[in-house]
Amino acid sequence: MALPLPDPDLTERFAADLAPLWSGQGKLGVAVSGGPDSLALLLLTHAALPGRVEVATVDHGLRAESADEAAMVAGICARLEVPHQTLTVEVPAGNVQSEARGARYAALAGWMAERGIEALATAHHADDQAETLLLRLNRGSGVAGLSGVRARGLVPGTRLPLVRPLLGWRRSELVQIVADAGLDPVMDPSNENDRFDRVRMRKAIAGAEWLDVPALAQSAANLADADAALEWAAAREWSEAVSKGPMGYTYRPQAPRAIALRVLTRLVTELDGEAPRGSAVARLFDSLVARQPASIGGLVARAMPDGWSFTEAPKRRA
């Protein structure tokens, strides 16, 4: 039996949100877990782009129910006549959430290449953005962290477009779209587990009626604009104030601290091969301003008369 599609006004609104993020003429891939957010995204994209949507469900194998949930999504896609594929991945030991994310995006990128899919859409929405902003404020994050997720980016590790057209939508709206279609979404029990910071923040937001979630999400978008401006300024500072010599780099800082920190991060990454922590870069900056030598990773930095020098630390003798 065919599924009812979202109201035409909702479809038109969604199409207007998607257009500035992706205007390709090919196929759009949609990552669907079976939760209410991603099911709503599936219904909206299918209504807005009939015949141009393909779906993938990533089965991380972390819960006994995951295979059945993927099969449920496959059944919904069959009713919509939307191509669907289940991608089974193995999640390495360690930070489970981080490892699962890496495995998920790697699998999705391979699926996109195989199916000739131009871009990937995910179901991050305004409530997600507000939660992220408040969580990171509580951790003292800088502008980049407070920007939250971006409406448009790249699938990690690739040049494939990644779009998030639901950042202006509330969770409650998406739940209603799924309910109106007569679907019973997957409810992940971890979303109710108070061990996770995000769950506690979600409940705190729900209990604070004075908080304006769309305004918080808009603040994150404004911070993303500021972050892009800082990146532009840091690139200019690099071209004008950084020089490479036989022993390493010299940086003659001209810009304010926020921009200089980004230049230092790039310097350390290029010389050491690994991006440093923001707190370590801040300590490095403060030491150099105080004209004290400092080390970071495998590098030594010194304040010289003509700028700050960065060289590889001498190898220790066995």
Instruction: Output the 3-class SS for 266-289.
Output: HHHHHHHCCCCCHHHHHHHHHHHH
Which pLDDT value is given to residue 13?
Answer: 97
pLDDT at position 318 over 60: no
Q: Are 74 and 19 in contact (CB under 8 A)?
A: no
**Mean of the pLDDT values across residues 61-78?**
85
* 307, amino acid identity: G
Q: Cα dihedral angle (165, 168, 172, 178), rounded to 10 degrees?
A: -20
Which pLDDT value is given to residue 215?
Answer: 94
List, for residues 190-235, the tens digit of each pLDDT value: 666 777 888 899 889 888 889 999 999 999 999 999 999 999 999 9
Pairing outcome for strands 117-121 and 27-31: parallel
**Mean of the pLDDT values across residues 91-115?**
82
Average pLDDT of the chain to the nearest whole number: 91
Neighbours of 149 (CB within 10 A): 16
Q: Which of 198, 205, 190, 171 is nearest to 38 (CA)?
A: 171
Which pLDDT value is given to residue 275?
Answer: 87
Q: Please provide residue 306's backbone torsions phi and psi, each rounded to the nearest 5 degrees.
A: -105, 15
Residue of 124 and 93 predicted with greater confidence: 124
pTM for the model stands at 0.85
Q: Which of 128, 117, 139, 116 is nearest to 164 (CA)?
A: 128
Cα dist from 156 to 79, 102, 164, whole Å: 31, 8, 14
Cα dist from 8 to 2, 43, 52, 54, 235, whole Å: 17, 12, 18, 21, 44
**Mean of the pLDDT values across residues 85-99?**
75
Residue of 57 and 102 predicted with greater confidence: 57
pLDDT band at 17 (very low <50, low <70, confident <90, very high): very high
**Mean of the pLDDT values across residues 34-42?**
96
The phi-psi region of residue 183 (left if phi > 0; otherwise alpha if psi is between -120 and 50; otherwise beta) is beta
**Mean of the pLDDT values across residues 290-303?**
92
Mean pLDDT check: name the lowest of 53-67, 102-116, 158-172, 235-249: 53-67
Which pLDDT value is given to residue 94?
Answer: 61
Residue of 102 and 44 predicted with greater confidence: 44
Which pLDDT value is given to residue 312?
Answer: 86
Which pLDDT value is given to residue 196?
Answer: 81
Q: Are 183 and 260 in contact (CB under 8 A)?
A: no
> How far apart (Å, rounded) are the C-alpha atoms in residues 121 and 221?
18
Residues 6 or more apart from 179 whose CB is under 8 A from it?
none
**Mean of the pLDDT values across residues 72-90?**
93
Which pLDDT value is given to residue 132?
Answer: 92
pLDDT at position 313 over 90: no
**Mean of the pLDDT values across residues 16-30?**
95
Residues 6 or more apart from 6 whose CB is under 8 A from it?
14, 40, 43, 44, 47, 177, 180, 181
Q: Please provide residue 296's backbone torsions phi and psi, each rounded to the nearest 5 degrees.
A: -150, 125
List, for residues 120-161, the tens digit of each pLDDT value: 999 999 999 999 999 999 998 889 989 988 999 999 989 999
List, for residues 226-261, the tens digit of each pLDDT value: 999 999 999 999 999 999 988 889 999 999 999 999
